[in-house]
Structure 1
Amino acid sequence: MKLIILDRDGVINYDSDNYIKSVDEWIALPGALEAIARLSRAGWVVTVATNQSGLARGYYDVPTLEGMHQVLRDAVQQYGGHLGLITYCPHGPDDGCSCRKPRPGLLQQIAEHYHTSLDGVWFVGDSLRDLQAAVAINAQPVLVGTGKGGQTRTQELPEHTLVFADLAAVADYLLN
Protein backbone atom coordinates (compact mmCIF):
# COMPACT_ATOMS: atom_id res chain seq x y z
CA MET A 1 0.00 0.00 0.00
CA LYS A 2 1.25 3.47 -0.89
CA LEU A 3 0.28 5.49 2.18
CA ILE A 4 1.00 9.13 3.01
CA ILE A 5 0.00 11.02 6.14
CA LEU A 6 -0.58 14.78 6.16
CA ASP A 7 -0.90 17.30 8.93
CA ARG A 8 -3.89 19.57 8.25
CA ASP A 9 -3.44 23.21 9.30
CA GLY A 10 -0.53 24.77 7.45
CA VAL A 11 -0.17 21.84 5.04
CA ILE A 12 -3.62 21.49 3.45
CA ASN A 13 -5.27 24.73 4.59
CA TYR A 14 -4.23 28.10 5.90
CA ASP A 15 -3.33 28.12 9.58
CA SER A 16 -4.06 30.79 12.17
CA ASP A 17 -2.65 31.49 15.60
CA ASN A 18 -6.29 32.26 16.50
CA TYR A 19 -7.34 28.75 15.34
CA ILE A 20 -9.54 27.72 12.47
CA LYS A 21 -12.88 27.84 14.29
CA SER A 22 -15.50 27.50 11.54
CA VAL A 23 -16.12 26.03 8.12
CA ASP A 24 -15.90 29.57 6.69
CA GLU A 25 -12.40 30.01 8.17
CA TRP A 26 -11.21 26.73 6.64
CA ILE A 27 -9.50 27.80 3.39
CA ALA A 28 -7.38 25.42 1.35
CA LEU A 29 -3.83 26.40 0.43
CA PRO A 30 -3.19 26.90 -3.30
CA GLY A 31 -2.59 23.56 -5.02
CA ALA A 32 -3.15 21.42 -1.90
CA LEU A 33 -6.49 19.87 -2.84
CA GLU A 34 -5.26 19.12 -6.35
CA ALA A 35 -2.12 17.52 -4.89
CA ILE A 36 -4.20 15.22 -2.66
CA ALA A 37 -6.40 14.28 -5.61
CA ARG A 38 -3.41 13.60 -7.87
CA LEU A 39 -1.85 11.32 -5.26
CA SER A 40 -5.16 9.54 -4.72
CA ARG A 41 -5.73 9.01 -8.45
CA ALA A 42 -2.22 7.54 -8.68
CA GLY A 43 -3.08 4.90 -6.07
CA TRP A 44 -1.89 6.59 -2.88
CA VAL A 45 -3.96 6.36 0.29
CA VAL A 46 -3.89 9.92 1.63
CA THR A 47 -4.66 10.31 5.34
CA VAL A 48 -4.63 13.18 7.84
CA ALA A 49 -3.39 13.40 11.44
CA THR A 50 -4.14 16.73 13.09
CA ASN A 51 -3.96 18.25 16.57
CA GLN A 52 -7.22 20.11 17.24
CA SER A 53 -6.82 21.59 20.70
CA GLY A 54 -9.41 24.21 19.77
CA LEU A 55 -11.94 21.54 20.79
CA ALA A 56 -10.52 21.34 24.33
CA ARG A 57 -10.32 25.13 24.48
CA GLY A 58 -14.00 25.45 23.53
CA TYR A 59 -13.34 27.43 20.33
CA TYR A 60 -15.47 25.04 18.25
CA ASP A 61 -17.25 21.72 18.66
CA VAL A 62 -16.95 18.28 17.05
CA PRO A 63 -19.78 18.87 14.53
CA THR A 64 -17.97 22.03 13.35
CA LEU A 65 -14.70 20.11 12.99
CA GLU A 66 -16.49 17.34 11.12
CA GLY A 67 -18.02 20.02 8.87
CA MET A 68 -14.53 21.30 8.02
CA HIS A 69 -13.42 17.77 7.23
CA GLN A 70 -16.48 17.19 5.04
CA VAL A 71 -15.62 20.37 3.07
CA LEU A 72 -12.09 18.98 2.66
CA ARG A 73 -13.36 15.58 1.51
CA ASP A 74 -15.86 17.12 -0.91
CA ALA A 75 -13.25 19.45 -2.38
CA VAL A 76 -10.77 16.61 -2.95
CA GLN A 77 -13.57 14.60 -4.56
CA GLN A 78 -14.32 17.51 -6.93
CA TYR A 79 -10.75 17.10 -8.20
CA GLY A 80 -11.35 13.39 -8.75
CA GLY A 81 -9.58 12.17 -5.63
CA HIS A 82 -10.39 10.45 -2.36
CA LEU A 83 -9.23 11.26 1.15
CA GLY A 84 -8.74 8.37 3.56
CA LEU A 85 -8.90 8.33 7.34
CA ILE A 86 -8.75 11.63 9.22
CA THR A 87 -7.54 11.31 12.82
CA TYR A 88 -7.51 14.21 15.24
CA CYS A 89 -6.47 14.89 18.80
CA PRO A 90 -9.20 16.82 20.66
CA HIS A 91 -7.04 17.40 23.75
CA GLY A 92 -5.21 20.45 25.04
CA PRO A 93 -1.42 20.62 25.38
CA ASP A 94 -1.49 19.81 29.10
CA ASP A 95 -3.99 16.93 28.99
CA GLY A 96 -1.31 14.23 28.91
CA CYS A 97 -2.91 12.19 26.13
CA SER A 98 -1.05 9.81 23.82
CA CYS A 99 -2.54 11.23 20.63
CA ARG A 100 -1.33 14.84 20.66
CA LYS A 101 1.66 15.23 18.36
CA PRO A 102 4.62 14.92 18.92
CA ARG A 103 3.30 11.73 20.54
CA PRO A 104 2.55 9.07 17.92
CA GLY A 105 -1.01 8.11 18.91
CA LEU A 106 -2.74 9.60 15.85
CA LEU A 107 -0.28 7.91 13.52
CA GLN A 108 -0.73 4.60 15.34
CA GLN A 109 -4.50 4.93 14.80
CA ILE A 110 -3.84 5.19 11.06
CA ALA A 111 -1.53 2.16 11.12
CA GLU A 112 -4.16 0.12 12.98
CA HIS A 113 -6.97 1.26 10.66
CA TYR A 114 -5.06 0.18 7.56
CA HIS A 115 -3.38 -2.86 9.20
CA THR A 116 0.06 -1.69 8.11
CA SER A 117 3.43 -0.63 9.39
CA LEU A 118 4.36 3.03 9.10
CA ASP A 119 8.07 2.32 8.62
CA GLY A 120 9.23 4.75 5.96
CA VAL A 121 5.74 6.17 5.31
CA TRP A 122 5.90 9.89 4.56
CA PHE A 123 4.39 12.17 7.18
CA VAL A 124 4.12 15.71 5.83
CA GLY A 125 3.92 18.54 8.35
CA ASP A 126 4.82 22.16 8.95
CA SER A 127 5.90 21.97 12.59
CA LEU A 128 8.65 20.34 14.59
CA ARG A 129 6.08 18.30 16.53
CA ASP A 130 4.87 16.77 13.23
CA LEU A 131 8.41 15.74 12.36
CA GLN A 132 8.99 14.37 15.88
CA ALA A 133 5.80 12.28 15.63
CA ALA A 134 7.07 10.84 12.34
CA VAL A 135 10.41 9.91 13.91
CA ALA A 136 8.63 8.30 16.89
CA ILE A 137 7.05 5.67 14.60
CA ASN A 138 9.94 5.36 12.12
CA ALA A 139 8.07 7.25 9.40
CA GLN A 140 9.82 9.61 6.98
CA PRO A 141 9.60 13.19 8.29
CA VAL A 142 8.72 15.69 5.54
CA LEU A 143 8.58 19.45 6.11
CA VAL A 144 6.71 21.87 3.87
CA GLY A 145 7.40 25.59 3.78
CA THR A 146 3.73 26.55 4.10
CA GLY A 147 2.04 27.33 7.40
CA LYS A 148 4.67 27.38 10.14
CA GLY A 149 7.15 25.55 7.90
CA GLY A 150 9.35 28.56 7.24
CA GLN A 151 9.76 29.16 10.97
CA THR A 152 10.25 25.43 11.63
CA ARG A 153 13.01 25.26 9.03
CA THR A 154 15.15 27.57 11.20
CA GLN A 155 15.11 24.96 14.00
CA GLU A 156 17.21 21.83 14.23
CA LEU A 157 15.28 19.26 12.20
CA PRO A 158 15.29 15.51 12.80
CA GLU A 159 17.90 13.64 10.79
CA HIS A 160 16.84 12.74 7.23
CA THR A 161 13.98 15.27 7.14
CA LEU A 162 12.98 16.04 3.56
CA VAL A 163 12.01 19.64 2.78
CA PHE A 164 9.62 20.84 0.05
CA ALA A 165 8.01 24.17 -0.77
CA ASP A 166 4.46 22.90 -0.36
CA LEU A 167 2.18 19.88 -0.71
CA ALA A 168 2.04 20.25 -4.49
CA ALA A 169 5.85 19.89 -4.60
CA VAL A 170 5.60 16.73 -2.46
CA ALA A 171 3.06 15.26 -4.89
CA ASP A 172 5.22 16.25 -7.87
CA TYR A 173 8.18 14.44 -6.34
CA LEU A 174 6.25 11.27 -5.47
CA LEU A 175 4.53 11.08 -8.85
CA ASN A 176 7.64 11.64 -11.00
Structure 2
Amino acid sequence: MNNAIFIDRDGTINVDKHYVYNINKFYFIDDVINAMIKLKKMNFFLIIVTNQSGIARGLFTQQEFILLTKWMISYLRLYNLHIDAIYFCPHHIQGVIKKFRKDCLCRKPSPGMLLDAKYRFNINMPTSYIVGDTISDMLAGHLAGIGTKVLVRSGKKITKETVKMANRVINSLASLPNLINKQ
Protein backbone atom coordinates (compact mmCIF):
# COMPACT_ATOMS: atom_id res chain seq x y z
CA MET A 1 0.00 0.00 0.00
CA ASN A 2 1.02 3.59 -0.61
CA ASN A 3 1.04 6.65 1.63
CA ALA A 4 -0.41 9.92 0.42
CA ILE A 5 -0.67 13.55 1.30
CA PHE A 6 -4.12 14.81 0.32
CA ILE A 7 -3.81 18.55 -0.17
CA ASP A 8 -6.52 21.19 -0.43
CA ARG A 9 -5.69 23.83 -3.04
CA ASP A 10 -6.96 27.33 -2.18
CA GLY A 11 -5.44 28.55 1.08
CA THR A 12 -3.07 25.59 1.30
CA ILE A 13 -1.10 25.55 -1.97
CA ASN A 14 -2.01 28.98 -3.30
CA VAL A 15 -3.13 32.25 -1.75
CA ASP A 16 -6.91 32.11 -1.45
CA LYS A 17 -8.17 35.10 -3.41
CA HIS A 18 -11.76 33.79 -3.31
CA TYR A 19 -12.63 31.75 -6.40
CA VAL A 20 -9.21 31.62 -8.04
CA TYR A 21 -9.55 30.51 -11.66
CA ASN A 22 -7.25 32.88 -13.51
CA ILE A 23 -3.50 32.30 -13.91
CA ASN A 24 -2.86 36.00 -13.21
CA LYS A 25 -4.50 35.65 -9.77
CA PHE A 26 -2.82 32.36 -8.81
CA TYR A 27 0.08 32.78 -6.36
CA PHE A 28 1.84 29.87 -4.71
CA ILE A 29 2.23 30.30 -0.96
CA ASP A 30 5.88 30.76 0.02
CA ASP A 31 7.88 27.51 0.21
CA VAL A 32 4.98 25.15 -0.60
CA ILE A 33 6.68 23.97 -3.78
CA ASN A 34 9.83 23.06 -1.83
CA ALA A 35 7.69 21.30 0.77
CA MET A 36 5.94 19.24 -1.92
CA ILE A 37 9.32 18.31 -3.41
CA LYS A 38 10.45 17.09 0.03
CA LEU A 39 7.21 15.14 0.50
CA LYS A 40 7.71 13.40 -2.86
CA LYS A 41 11.26 12.48 -1.79
CA MET A 42 9.68 10.97 1.33
CA ASN A 43 7.75 8.66 -1.06
CA PHE A 44 4.31 10.19 -0.56
CA PHE A 45 1.76 10.37 -3.34
CA LEU A 46 0.65 13.99 -3.70
CA ILE A 47 -3.07 14.24 -4.39
CA ILE A 48 -4.87 17.56 -4.61
CA VAL A 49 -8.53 17.49 -3.53
CA THR A 50 -10.38 20.76 -4.04
CA ASN A 51 -13.96 22.00 -3.90
CA GLN A 52 -14.60 24.36 -6.80
CA SER A 53 -18.16 25.57 -6.25
CA GLY A 54 -17.42 28.64 -8.37
CA ILE A 55 -18.15 26.41 -11.36
CA ALA A 56 -21.68 25.59 -10.11
CA ARG A 57 -22.16 29.20 -9.07
CA GLY A 58 -21.38 30.39 -12.61
CA LEU A 59 -18.38 32.45 -11.52
CA PHE A 60 -16.06 30.55 -13.87
CA THR A 61 -16.31 27.57 -16.18
CA GLN A 62 -15.00 24.08 -15.78
CA GLN A 63 -12.76 24.75 -18.78
CA GLU A 64 -11.25 27.80 -17.06
CA PHE A 65 -10.54 25.66 -13.99
CA ILE A 66 -8.94 22.95 -16.16
CA LEU A 67 -6.81 25.53 -17.99
CA LEU A 68 -5.50 26.89 -14.67
CA THR A 69 -4.89 23.35 -13.43
CA LYS A 70 -2.89 22.45 -16.55
CA TRP A 71 -0.83 25.61 -16.11
CA MET A 72 -0.20 24.74 -12.43
CA ILE A 73 0.93 21.21 -13.36
CA SER A 74 3.26 22.59 -16.04
CA TYR A 75 4.69 25.14 -13.64
CA LEU A 76 5.38 22.48 -11.02
CA ARG A 77 7.12 20.35 -13.65
CA LEU A 78 9.69 23.13 -13.97
CA TYR A 79 10.71 22.04 -10.46
CA ASN A 80 10.60 18.35 -11.45
CA LEU A 81 7.57 18.02 -9.20
CA HIS A 82 4.91 15.51 -10.18
CA ILE A 83 1.41 15.72 -8.71
CA ASP A 84 -0.04 12.22 -8.77
CA ALA A 85 -3.66 13.30 -9.15
CA ILE A 86 -5.98 16.27 -8.91
CA TYR A 87 -9.59 15.72 -7.90
CA PHE A 88 -12.11 18.54 -7.93
CA CYS A 89 -15.77 18.93 -7.14
CA PRO A 90 -17.63 21.42 -9.34
CA HIS A 91 -20.95 20.92 -7.53
CA HIS A 92 -22.95 23.02 -5.12
CA ILE A 93 -26.52 22.53 -3.98
CA GLN A 94 -27.22 26.25 -4.58
CA GLY A 95 -25.48 26.42 -7.94
CA VAL A 96 -26.94 28.43 -10.81
CA ILE A 97 -25.52 26.09 -13.47
CA LYS A 98 -28.13 23.32 -13.61
CA LYS A 99 -25.82 20.39 -14.40
CA PHE A 100 -23.62 21.23 -11.39
CA ARG A 101 -26.45 22.09 -8.96
CA LYS A 102 -26.69 19.01 -6.81
CA ASP A 103 -25.79 17.38 -3.55
CA CYS A 104 -22.96 14.95 -4.27
CA LEU A 105 -20.56 12.57 -2.60
CA CYS A 106 -17.44 14.34 -3.87
CA ARG A 107 -17.87 17.77 -2.26
CA LYS A 108 -15.88 17.97 0.95
CA PRO A 109 -16.78 17.28 3.76
CA SER A 110 -17.99 14.17 1.94
CA PRO A 111 -15.05 11.83 1.39
CA GLY A 112 -15.77 10.89 -2.24
CA MET A 113 -12.65 12.40 -3.82
CA LEU A 114 -10.40 10.88 -1.17
CA LEU A 115 -11.97 7.43 -1.42
CA ASP A 116 -11.69 7.49 -5.23
CA ALA A 117 -7.97 8.18 -4.85
CA LYS A 118 -7.67 5.49 -2.18
CA TYR A 119 -8.86 2.80 -4.56
CA ARG A 120 -7.08 4.16 -7.63
CA PHE A 121 -3.67 4.38 -5.95
CA ASN A 122 -4.01 1.69 -3.25
CA ILE A 123 -3.58 4.27 -0.48
CA ASN A 124 -3.09 3.27 3.14
CA MET A 125 -5.41 5.84 4.66
CA PRO A 126 -4.41 5.40 8.36
CA THR A 127 -0.77 6.27 7.50
CA SER A 128 -1.69 9.15 5.18
CA TYR A 129 -2.34 12.84 5.77
CA ILE A 130 -4.88 15.44 4.72
CA VAL A 131 -3.80 19.07 4.76
CA GLY A 132 -6.30 21.89 4.45
CA ASP A 133 -7.59 25.10 5.93
CA THR A 134 -11.24 24.35 6.68
CA ILE A 135 -13.36 22.06 8.79
CA SER A 136 -14.61 20.51 5.53
CA ASP A 137 -11.07 19.28 4.84
CA MET A 138 -10.74 17.85 8.34
CA LEU A 139 -14.15 16.15 8.21
CA ALA A 140 -13.47 14.65 4.77
CA GLY A 141 -10.21 13.23 6.12
CA HIS A 142 -11.97 11.83 9.16
CA LEU A 143 -14.74 10.22 7.10
CA ALA A 144 -12.18 8.72 4.69
CA GLY A 145 -10.19 7.20 7.57
CA ILE A 146 -7.09 9.33 7.10
CA GLY A 147 -4.76 8.97 10.05
CA THR A 148 -3.46 12.52 10.37
CA LYS A 149 -5.50 15.64 9.71
CA VAL A 150 -3.39 18.79 9.47
CA LEU A 151 -5.04 22.20 9.65
CA VAL A 152 -3.26 25.10 7.96
CA ARG A 153 -3.73 28.62 9.31
CA SER A 154 -4.53 30.38 6.05
CA GLY A 155 -6.11 33.48 7.49
CA LYS A 156 -9.64 32.06 7.45
CA LYS A 157 -11.47 32.04 10.76
CA ILE A 158 -10.64 28.85 12.65
CA THR A 159 -13.21 27.58 15.12
CA LYS A 160 -12.52 25.49 18.21
CA GLU A 161 -14.42 22.66 16.50
CA THR A 162 -12.05 22.80 13.51
CA VAL A 163 -8.96 22.71 15.73
CA LYS A 164 -10.47 19.82 17.70
CA MET A 165 -11.00 17.85 14.48
CA ALA A 166 -7.34 18.32 13.44
CA ASN A 167 -4.44 16.24 14.77
CA ARG A 168 -1.97 19.06 14.09
CA VAL A 169 -2.18 22.79 13.32
CA ILE A 170 0.55 24.46 11.25
CA ASN A 171 1.08 27.88 9.71
CA SER A 172 1.86 26.57 6.23
CA LEU A 173 2.16 23.44 4.15
CA ALA A 174 5.85 24.36 4.12
CA SER A 175 6.07 23.04 7.71
CA LEU A 176 4.68 19.59 6.94
CA PRO A 177 7.91 17.74 5.98
CA ASN A 178 9.53 18.74 9.28
CA LEU A 179 6.43 17.79 11.23
CA ILE A 180 6.42 14.34 9.62
CA ASN A 181 10.14 13.85 10.25
CA LYS A 182 9.63 14.59 13.97
CA GLN A 183 6.92 11.94 14.36
1:173 match: 179
Q: How many angstroms does 1:113 deviate by?
A: 1.4
TM-score, length-scaled by structure 1: 0.89
Structure 2, unaligned runs of 5 or more: 95-101
Q: Is the 8 A contact 1:144 1:166 kept in 2?
A: yes
Q: CA RMSD in A?
A: 1.7
Q: How many residues align?
A: 172
Letter in 1 for 2:7: L
1:39 paired to 2:39: yes
Q: How many angstroms does 1:159 deviate by?
A: 4.5
Cα pair distance change 1:159/1:22, threshold 3 Å: closer
1:73 paired to 2:80: no
Cα pair distance change 1:121/1:93, threshold 3 Å: farther
- State the alpha-carbon separation in 1 of the partners of residues 26 and 78 from structure 2: 17
SS in 2 for 1:156: helix
Say which of 153, 156, 161 aligns to 2:161. 156
SS in 2 for 1:91: coil
Letter in 1 for 2:53: S
Map Cα deviations across residues 36-79 of structure 1 (whole Å, 9 max, x no partner).
12211332211110000011111112221112212222222222
SS in 2 for 1:142: strand
Say which of 86, 98, 111 aligns to 1:104. 111
- State the alpha-carbon separation in 2 of the partners of residues 77 and 144 from structure 1: 24
SS in 1 for 2:6: strand
Say which of 117, 134, 142 aligns to 1:127. 134
Cα pair distance change 1:30/1:160, threshold 3 Å: closer
Cα pair distance change 1:14/1:61, threshold 3 Å: same
Structure 1, unaligned runs of 5 or more: none
In proportion to residue count, which structure has more helix? 2
2:97 match: none
TM-score, length-scaled by structure 2: 0.86
Q: Is the 8 A contact 1:36 1:76 kept in 2?
A: no
Q: How many angstroms does 1:173 deviate by?
A: 2.1
Q: Is the 8 A contact 2:138 2:165 kept in 1?
A: no
- State the alpha-carbon separation in 2 of the partners of residues 37 and 83 from structure 1: 10
Q: Is the 8 A contact 2:4 2:47 kept in 1?
A: yes
SS in 1 for 2:56: coil
2:21 match: 21
